[in-house]
Amino acid sequence: MMHISTKGEYGVRVMIDLARYYNKKLRSLTDISQDEGLPVQYLEQLIKKLRDADLVMSARGAHGGYQLSRPPEEIRMSEVLSVLEGALAPYACLSVNGAEAACGWDKLGSCSTRSLWARLQDAIISTLESITLNELVDTAPHTPIRMPEQQQNIKIQL
């Protein structure tokens, strides 16, 4: 029911790749794309978000590329994913700063589902905050691969 889009999936893979080369050398998108098996031009879009959020730094021109702007152990998955998937709660029910306006139902005094989504959100956020980039690097042996067949969303089964 809940799914991570390829933005999140690919973006995390890019971050893991960059973590492997942290403090070693710059990584170009074509290199990342080949080693991780992901479409370059799509990655350009994703990494722009990561750069805007100051999670990665870039160097332009020949022999340019990207690198993490912080050590992997200081990068939490909550940050990475909220940047990639574009977090924002249009329904103020779930806005983080509770001061925001209420949703349509809430204004009328009874938002029966609010506590449900709130607890779900808490669970998601706290687990993602508890996982840092270096944990993922450690568990994954690095063997460059080719791209699998056409991608789709990754659905999380309940």
Binding site for DNA (CB under 7 A): 5-7, 27-31, 39-42, 44-45, 47-48, 51, 58-66, 150-153
Kindly tell me which of 64 and 98 has the beta carbon lying closer to DNA: 64
Of 7, 4, 31, 2, the residue nearest 17 (C-alpha): 31
Looking at 39, 52, 73, 119, which residue binds its own copies (CB under 8 A)?
A: 119
What single letter denotes the amino acid at residue 45?
Q
Residue 59, strand partner residues: 65
Residue 113 as a binder of its own copies (CB under 8 A): the answer is yes
CB of 40 to DNA, least distance (A): 7
Binding mask 122-141 for its own copies (x = CB under 8 A): xxxxxxx--x---xxx-xxx
Residue 40 as a binder of its own copies (CB under 8 A): the answer is no
Of 138, 130, 23, the residue nearest 77 (C-alpha): 130
Question: Within 13 A of 67's CA, how many CA atoms are on the CB side?
Answer: 13
What single letter denotes the amino acid at residue 46?
L
Kindly tell me which of 40 and 154 has the beta carbon lying closer to its own copies: 154
Give kind and range of the element (H or E) at residue 34.
Answer: helix 29-36
Give the interface segment with its own copies, choosing from 23-31, 42-50, 52-60, 96-104 (CB under 8 A): 96-104
